Copies of this chain bind each other. A is one copy, B any other.
Amino acid sequence: MALKYISNSGDKVITTREISDSKNIPYDLLSKIMQTMKNENILSSNQGSSGGYSLSKRPDEIPLYNLISAIDGNVNIAECLKESPVKDCSMTDNCSIKSPVMLLQKEVEDLFKRKTISDFV
């Protein structure tokens, strides 16, 4: 919703406060999410009194996949598919359904890579 808001605001720099007020999203929470998106290069920021955020790229150049990875850390259908699984499954090495699961993972990834922020504005 925040990215949509920014997308629809032309080239203006947008403050967290403005989005928070306009969409009734708790300021502190949104603030954290904006920071995360900044750190993951989805947003650019300007500090200071007339600062704020803007998209780092055009909406159609930001895959949904990137946004979700940025915020959730990954886009995986199963824990065992994460790059660094918190808890590795005791049977990862001889999992009998590993390859079809990985195929499905790939298909989900592709879907989320085809979608971009412009599909949500």
Please give the residue numbers on chain A whose beta carbons come within 8 Å of chain B beta carbons, in ascending order. Answer: 1, 4-5, 23-25, 64, 90-91, 95-97, 100-101, 104, 107-108, 111, 115, 119-120
Contact = CB atoms under 8 A, between A and B. Distances in A.
Given A1-B95, A95-B1, A111 B107 contact: yes
Nearest to A115: B104
Given A24-B90, A91-B23, A120 B107 contact: no
| Copies of this polypeptide in the complex | 2
Contacts of A24: 90-91
Contact of A100 (B23, B97, B104, B120): B120
A1 B96 contact: yes
B108 A120 contact: no
A91 B115 CA distance: 23
A44 B5 CA distance: 51
A4 B97 contact: yes
22 contacts: A1-B95, A1-B96, A1-B97, A4-B96, A4-B97, A5-B96, A23-B91, A23-B96, A24-B90, A24-B91, A25-B91, A64-B104, A97-B120, A100-B119, A101-B120, A104-B111, A104-B115, A104-B119, A107-B111, A108-B108, A108-B111, A111-B111
